[in-house]
Protein backbone atom coordinates (compact mmCIF):
# COMPACT_ATOMS: atom_id res chain seq x y z
CA UNK A 1 0.00 0.00 0.00
CA UNK A 2 1.41 3.34 -0.88
CA UNK A 3 1.88 5.94 1.77
CA UNK A 4 -0.48 8.79 2.52
CA UNK A 5 1.94 11.68 2.27
CA UNK A 6 1.46 14.39 4.87
CA UNK A 7 1.69 17.68 2.96
CA UNK A 8 4.93 19.42 3.93
CA UNK A 9 3.19 22.77 4.27
CA UNK A 10 0.90 21.22 6.88
CA UNK A 11 3.87 19.94 8.90
CA UNK A 12 5.59 23.30 8.66
CA UNK A 13 2.48 25.12 9.87
CA UNK A 14 2.06 22.67 12.75
CA UNK A 15 5.66 23.24 13.85
CA UNK A 16 5.82 26.99 13.39
CA UNK A 17 5.04 27.76 17.04
CA UNK A 18 7.15 24.88 18.32
CA UNK A 19 10.38 26.16 16.81
CA UNK A 20 10.10 29.50 18.60
CA UNK A 21 11.74 28.27 21.85
CA UNK A 22 14.62 26.86 19.75
CA UNK A 23 15.05 30.21 18.03
CA UNK A 24 14.94 32.06 21.33
CA UNK A 25 17.58 29.78 22.79
CA UNK A 26 20.00 29.73 19.88
CA UNK A 27 19.66 33.09 18.17
CA UNK A 28 22.33 35.47 19.33
CA UNK A 29 21.41 39.08 20.07
CA UNK A 30 22.66 41.15 17.13
CA UNK A 31 24.11 44.04 19.08
CA UNK A 32 25.81 41.86 21.65
CA UNK A 33 27.09 39.47 18.99
CA UNK A 34 30.61 39.57 17.57
CA UNK A 35 31.22 41.54 14.40
CA UNK A 36 34.14 41.24 11.97
CA UNK A 37 35.60 44.55 13.22
CA UNK A 38 36.13 43.02 16.66
CA UNK A 39 38.92 40.89 15.20
CA UNK A 40 40.53 43.35 12.81
CA UNK A 41 42.68 46.47 13.12
CA UNK A 42 40.77 49.72 13.66
CA UNK A 43 42.09 52.13 11.05
CA UNK A 44 40.73 55.05 13.04
CA UNK A 45 42.83 54.22 16.08
CA UNK A 46 46.52 54.52 16.94
CA UNK A 47 48.68 51.49 16.30
CA UNK A 48 46.91 50.02 13.30
CA UNK A 49 50.15 49.92 11.30
CA UNK A 50 51.68 47.58 13.86
CA UNK A 51 48.58 45.37 13.86
CA UNK A 52 48.64 45.10 10.07
CA UNK A 53 52.37 44.32 10.15
CA UNK A 54 51.65 41.55 12.61
CA UNK A 55 49.01 40.00 10.34
CA UNK A 56 51.37 40.19 7.38
CA UNK A 57 54.19 38.74 9.45
CA UNK A 58 52.25 35.53 9.89
CA UNK A 59 51.81 35.08 6.15
CA UNK A 60 55.15 33.36 5.72
CA UNK A 61 54.64 31.10 8.72
CA UNK A 62 51.60 29.36 7.28
CA UNK A 63 51.84 26.55 4.76
CA UNK A 64 50.60 26.75 1.19
CA UNK A 65 47.93 24.12 1.97
CA UNK A 66 46.69 26.11 4.93
CA UNK A 67 46.34 29.24 2.81
CA UNK A 68 44.47 27.35 0.10
CA UNK A 69 42.14 25.85 2.69
CA UNK A 70 41.48 29.22 4.26
CA UNK A 71 40.83 30.85 0.88
CA UNK A 72 38.57 27.98 -0.21
CA UNK A 73 36.64 28.26 3.07
CA UNK A 74 36.28 32.00 2.55
CA UNK A 75 34.98 31.59 -1.00
CA UNK A 76 32.54 28.95 0.25
CA UNK A 77 31.24 31.37 2.89
CA UNK A 78 31.00 34.20 0.39
CA UNK A 79 28.70 32.25 -1.90
CA UNK A 80 26.03 32.72 0.78
CA UNK A 81 23.46 34.21 -1.65
CA UNK A 82 23.28 30.83 -3.39
CA UNK A 83 22.58 28.99 -0.15
CA UNK A 84 19.98 31.44 1.09
CA UNK A 85 18.18 31.23 -2.23
CA UNK A 86 18.00 27.43 -1.85
CA UNK A 87 16.94 27.13 1.75
CA UNK A 88 14.33 29.86 1.65
CA UNK A 89 12.72 28.18 -1.33
CA UNK A 90 11.43 25.10 0.52
CA UNK A 91 7.71 24.52 0.99
CA UNK A 92 6.33 26.16 4.11
CA UNK A 93 8.96 28.88 4.40
CA UNK A 94 6.97 31.84 3.29
CA UNK A 95 8.69 35.20 3.52
CA UNK A 96 5.49 37.10 2.84
CA UNK A 97 3.64 35.46 5.72
CA UNK A 98 6.71 36.14 7.85
CA UNK A 99 6.45 32.94 9.91
CA UNK A 100 9.08 31.62 12.33
CA UNK A 101 10.77 29.55 9.62
CA UNK A 102 11.54 32.57 7.50
CA UNK A 103 12.44 34.52 10.63
CA UNK A 104 15.09 31.91 11.44
CA UNK A 105 16.44 31.78 7.89
CA UNK A 106 16.87 35.53 7.81
CA UNK A 107 18.69 35.48 11.12
CA UNK A 108 20.82 32.52 10.00
CA UNK A 109 21.77 34.40 6.82
CA UNK A 110 22.58 37.55 8.78
CA UNK A 111 24.89 35.59 11.07
CA UNK A 112 26.52 33.67 8.23
CA UNK A 113 27.16 36.90 6.35
CA UNK A 114 29.74 37.84 9.00
CA UNK A 115 31.82 34.75 8.22
CA UNK A 116 32.80 35.58 4.66
CA UNK A 117 33.10 39.24 5.58
CA UNK A 118 35.62 38.61 8.38
CA UNK A 119 37.69 36.03 6.50
CA UNK A 120 37.77 38.16 3.35
CA UNK A 121 39.08 41.19 5.23
CA UNK A 122 41.68 39.10 7.03
CA UNK A 123 42.93 37.64 3.74
CA UNK A 124 43.06 41.11 2.19
CA UNK A 125 45.23 42.38 5.04
CA UNK A 126 47.50 39.32 5.03
CA UNK A 127 49.09 40.24 1.71
CA UNK A 128 49.41 36.51 0.99
CA UNK A 129 46.47 36.32 -1.37
CA UNK A 130 45.88 37.37 -4.93
CA UNK A 131 42.56 39.00 -4.09
CA UNK A 132 41.46 39.48 -7.67
CA UNK A 133 41.89 35.78 -8.44
CA UNK A 134 39.95 34.90 -5.30
CA UNK A 135 37.19 37.35 -6.17
CA UNK A 136 36.86 35.93 -9.68
CA UNK A 137 36.44 32.44 -8.21
CA UNK A 138 33.77 33.74 -5.82
CA UNK A 139 31.86 35.42 -8.62
CA UNK A 140 32.09 32.25 -10.74
CA UNK A 141 30.81 30.16 -7.84
CA UNK A 142 27.75 32.34 -7.22
CA UNK A 143 27.20 32.60 -10.95
CA UNK A 144 27.37 28.81 -11.41
CA UNK A 145 25.00 28.05 -8.52
CA UNK A 146 24.61 24.49 -7.33
CA UNK A 147 21.95 21.91 -6.69
CA UNK A 148 22.06 20.29 -3.26
CA UNK A 149 19.25 17.90 -4.24
CA UNK A 150 16.73 19.26 -1.75
CA UNK A 151 14.02 20.09 -4.31
CA UNK A 152 11.41 22.14 -2.40
CA UNK A 153 11.33 19.67 0.45
CA UNK A 154 11.82 21.21 3.92
CA UNK A 155 12.84 17.80 5.33
CA UNK A 156 15.65 17.46 2.80
CA UNK A 157 16.49 21.11 3.27
CA UNK A 158 17.15 20.83 6.99
CA UNK A 159 18.82 17.41 6.70
CA UNK A 160 21.23 19.07 4.28
CA UNK A 161 21.86 22.08 6.54
CA UNK A 162 22.27 19.84 9.62
CA UNK A 163 25.04 17.99 7.81
CA UNK A 164 26.64 21.06 6.30
CA UNK A 165 26.73 23.10 9.48
CA UNK A 166 28.53 20.27 11.29
CA UNK A 167 30.94 19.93 8.35
CA UNK A 168 31.77 23.65 8.40
CA UNK A 169 32.18 23.52 12.17
CA UNK A 170 34.72 20.71 11.74
CA UNK A 171 36.71 22.50 9.06
CA UNK A 172 36.80 25.94 10.73
CA UNK A 173 37.66 24.34 14.07
CA UNK A 174 40.58 22.38 12.60
CA UNK A 175 41.80 25.43 10.67
CA UNK A 176 41.79 27.29 14.00
CA UNK A 177 43.94 24.55 15.57
CA UNK A 178 46.42 24.58 12.68
CA UNK A 179 46.64 28.38 12.74
CA UNK A 180 47.43 28.25 16.41
CA UNK A 181 50.11 25.64 15.77
CA UNK A 182 51.61 27.97 13.16
CA UNK A 183 51.78 30.66 15.86
CA UNK A 184 48.90 32.69 14.44
CA UNK A 185 46.64 33.22 17.44
CA UNK A 186 44.63 36.03 15.86
CA UNK A 187 43.60 33.81 12.96
CA UNK A 188 42.90 30.92 15.35
CA UNK A 189 40.46 33.17 17.19
CA UNK A 190 38.76 34.19 13.95
CA UNK A 191 38.25 30.59 12.80
CA UNK A 192 37.20 29.64 16.33
CA UNK A 193 34.33 32.13 16.58
CA UNK A 194 33.09 31.15 13.13
CA UNK A 195 33.25 27.46 14.11
CA UNK A 196 31.14 28.10 17.19
CA UNK A 197 28.47 29.88 15.11
CA UNK A 198 28.37 26.83 12.82
CA UNK A 199 27.83 24.48 15.77
CA UNK A 200 25.00 26.63 17.12
CA UNK A 201 23.39 26.59 13.66
CA UNK A 202 23.82 22.81 13.43
CA UNK A 203 22.03 22.41 16.77
CA UNK A 204 19.07 24.41 15.45
CA UNK A 205 18.78 22.40 12.22
CA UNK A 206 19.15 19.07 14.04
CA UNK A 207 16.35 20.18 16.41
CA UNK A 208 14.10 21.07 13.47
CA UNK A 209 14.48 17.56 12.05
CA UNK A 210 13.80 16.01 15.47
CA UNK A 211 10.46 17.84 15.55
CA UNK A 212 9.67 16.78 12.00
CA UNK A 213 10.39 13.13 12.90
CA UNK A 214 7.80 13.42 15.70
CA UNK A 215 5.06 14.39 13.24
CA UNK A 216 6.03 12.45 10.13
CA UNK A 217 8.59 9.71 10.92
CA UNK A 218 8.11 7.84 7.65
CA UNK A 219 8.32 10.92 5.46
CA UNK A 220 11.47 12.23 7.16
CA UNK A 221 13.12 8.78 7.12
CA UNK A 222 12.58 8.47 3.37
CA UNK A 223 13.89 12.01 2.83
CA UNK A 224 17.00 11.22 4.91
CA UNK A 225 17.64 8.09 2.89
CA UNK A 226 17.17 9.97 -0.39
CA UNK A 227 19.65 12.65 0.67
CA UNK A 228 22.32 10.18 1.81
CA UNK A 229 21.86 7.96 -1.25
CA UNK A 230 22.55 10.98 -3.40
CA UNK A 231 25.36 12.08 -1.10
CA UNK A 232 25.77 15.49 0.52
CA UNK A 233 27.25 17.76 -2.11
CA UNK A 234 29.61 20.34 -0.74
CA UNK A 235 28.39 23.88 -1.35
CA UNK A 236 31.57 24.86 -3.19
CA UNK A 237 31.32 21.83 -5.45
CA UNK A 238 31.50 23.89 -8.66
CA UNK A 239 34.46 26.03 -7.58
CA UNK A 240 36.74 27.03 -10.45
CA UNK A 241 39.63 29.36 -11.11
CA UNK A 242 39.96 32.06 -13.75
CA UNK A 243 41.03 31.53 -17.35
CA UNK A 244 38.42 29.05 -18.47
CA UNK A 245 39.24 26.36 -15.91
CA UNK A 246 36.55 23.67 -15.89
CA UNK A 247 33.72 23.93 -13.40
CA UNK A 248 34.55 22.08 -10.18
CA UNK A 249 38.27 21.65 -10.91
CA UNK A 250 39.35 24.06 -8.17
CA UNK A 251 37.11 22.28 -5.71
CA UNK A 252 38.98 19.00 -6.26
CA UNK A 253 42.34 20.67 -5.58
CA UNK A 254 40.95 22.59 -2.60
CA UNK A 255 39.51 19.35 -1.17
CA UNK A 256 42.94 17.70 -1.65
CA UNK A 257 44.59 20.41 0.46
CA UNK A 258 41.91 20.16 3.16
CA UNK A 259 42.20 16.37 3.19
CA UNK A 260 46.02 16.42 3.41
CA UNK A 261 45.88 18.85 6.31
CA UNK A 262 43.21 16.74 7.99
CA UNK A 263 40.87 19.75 8.02
CA UNK A 264 38.05 17.87 6.32
CA UNK A 265 38.36 14.27 5.20
CA UNK A 266 36.27 11.44 3.77
CA UNK A 267 36.28 9.95 7.28
CA UNK A 268 34.76 13.15 8.65
CA UNK A 269 31.88 12.62 6.22
CA UNK A 270 31.28 9.19 7.75
CA UNK A 271 31.57 10.57 11.31
CA UNK A 272 29.00 13.29 10.61
CA UNK A 273 26.67 10.75 9.03
CA UNK A 274 26.98 8.50 12.13
CA UNK A 275 26.44 11.44 14.41
CA UNK A 276 23.17 12.29 12.68
CA UNK A 277 22.02 8.66 12.97
CA UNK A 278 22.47 9.02 16.73
CA UNK A 279 21.03 12.53 17.06
CA UNK A 280 17.83 11.45 15.37
CA UNK A 281 17.68 8.02 17.01
CA UNK A 282 17.32 6.39 13.62
CA UNK A 283 17.88 2.89 14.97
CA UNK A 284 15.16 3.21 17.63
CA UNK A 285 12.64 5.17 15.56
CA UNK A 286 9.10 3.83 15.81
CA UNK A 287 5.96 4.39 13.76
CA UNK A 288 7.52 3.73 10.37
CA UNK A 289 5.59 2.33 7.42
CA UNK A 290 7.06 -0.47 5.26
CA UNK A 291 8.71 1.87 2.82
CA UNK A 292 10.32 3.86 5.62
CA UNK A 293 11.52 0.64 7.29
CA UNK A 294 13.40 -0.16 4.09
CA UNK A 295 14.75 3.38 4.01
CA UNK A 296 15.99 2.98 7.59
CA UNK A 297 17.81 -0.25 6.70
CA UNK A 298 19.57 1.46 3.83
CA UNK A 299 20.36 4.60 5.77
CA UNK A 300 21.90 2.55 8.61
CA UNK A 301 24.05 0.36 6.36
CA UNK A 302 25.45 3.07 4.14
CA UNK A 303 28.13 4.55 6.49
CA UNK A 304 30.03 1.23 6.57
CA UNK A 305 30.13 1.17 2.78
CA UNK A 306 31.36 4.75 2.59
CA UNK A 307 33.97 4.06 5.25
CA UNK A 308 35.29 1.09 3.30
CA UNK A 309 35.77 3.33 0.27
CA UNK A 310 37.40 6.03 2.43
CA UNK A 311 39.77 3.45 3.96
CA UNK A 312 41.07 2.60 0.51
CA UNK A 313 42.51 6.11 0.33
CA UNK A 314 42.49 8.34 -2.68
CA UNK A 315 44.35 8.94 -5.89
CA UNK A 316 47.69 10.74 -5.56
CA UNK A 317 47.25 14.46 -5.44
CA UNK A 318 48.04 16.55 -8.54
CA UNK A 319 50.76 19.18 -8.42
CA UNK A 320 48.27 21.93 -9.16
CA UNK A 321 49.21 25.39 -7.84
CA UNK A 322 46.43 27.85 -7.18
CA UNK A 323 46.50 31.36 -8.61
CA UNK A 324 44.96 32.52 -5.31
CA UNK A 325 48.16 32.30 -3.25
CA UNK A 326 51.19 34.60 -3.54
CA UNK A 327 53.82 31.91 -3.54
CA UNK A 328 56.63 34.20 -2.46
CA UNK A 329 54.88 34.49 0.90
CA UNK A 330 53.48 31.07 1.55
CA UNK A 331 55.70 28.11 2.39
CA UNK A 332 55.19 24.79 0.72
FE1 LIG B 1 29.52 29.97 7.80
FE1 LIG C 1 27.09 27.68 8.31
52: left (phi over 0), alpha (psi -120 to 50) or beta: alpha
Note the pLDDT of residue 61: 85
Note the pLDDT of residue 195: 98
Ligand 2 center–CA 123 separation, angstroms: 19
Note the pLDDT of residue 60: 81
| pTM score over 0.85 | yes
Residue 47: count other Cβ atoms within 10 Å of its Cβ: 9
Distance CA 8, CA 243 (A): 44
Decide if 328 is inside a domain: no
Note the pLDDT of residue 1: 45
Q: Which one of 201, 226, 256, 265 is the catalytic residue?
A: 201
Decide if 37 is inside a domain: no
Decide if 176 is inside a domain: yes
Note the pLDDT of residue 315: 84
121: domain range?
13-30+59-311
Give yes or no: 198 in active site. yes
Give yes or no: 104 in active site. no
Give the residues of the chain that fall short of pLDDT 50.
1, 332
Give yes or no: 140 in active site. no
30: left (phi over 0), alpha (psi -120 to 50) or beta: alpha
What CATH number corresponds to the domain at position 283?
1.10.620.20
Note the pLDDT of residue 329: 59
Give yes or no: 77 in active site. yes
Ligand 2 center–CA 226 separation, angstroms: 22
Give yes or no: 324 in active site. no
Note the pLDDT of residue 2: 58
Decide if 190 is inside a domain: yes
DSSP label at residue 319: -
Q: What percent of the chain has pLDDT over 70?
A: 98
Decide if 237 is inside a domain: yes
Note the pLDDT of residue 57: 92
Ligand 2 center–CA 195 separation, angstroms: 8
Ligand 1 center–CA 238 separation, angstroms: 18
Q: Which helix (H) or strand (E) holds 302?
A: helix 290-311
Ligand 2 center–CA 194 separation, angstroms: 8
Largest CA distance in the chain: 74
Give yes or no: 84 in active site. no
Decide if 320 is inside a domain: no
DSSP label at residue 63: B
Total number of domains in the chain: 1
Give yes or no: 249 in active site. no
Q: What percent of the chain has pLDDT over 90?
A: 86
Residue 3: count other Cβ atoms within 10 Å of its Cβ: 12
Decide if 48 is inside a domain: no
Decide if 135 is inside a domain: yes
Q: Tens digit of pLDDT for each residue in 11-28?
A: 999 999 999 999 999 998
Amino acid sequence: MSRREIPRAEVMRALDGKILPILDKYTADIEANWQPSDFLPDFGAEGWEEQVREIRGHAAEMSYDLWVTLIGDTITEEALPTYEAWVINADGIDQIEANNWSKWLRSWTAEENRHGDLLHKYLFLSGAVDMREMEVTTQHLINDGFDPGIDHDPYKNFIYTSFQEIATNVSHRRTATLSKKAGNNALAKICGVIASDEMRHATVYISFIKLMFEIDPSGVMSAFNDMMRRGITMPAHFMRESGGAPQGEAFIHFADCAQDLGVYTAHDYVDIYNRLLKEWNIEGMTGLDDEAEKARDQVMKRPQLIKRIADRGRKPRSDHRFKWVHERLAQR
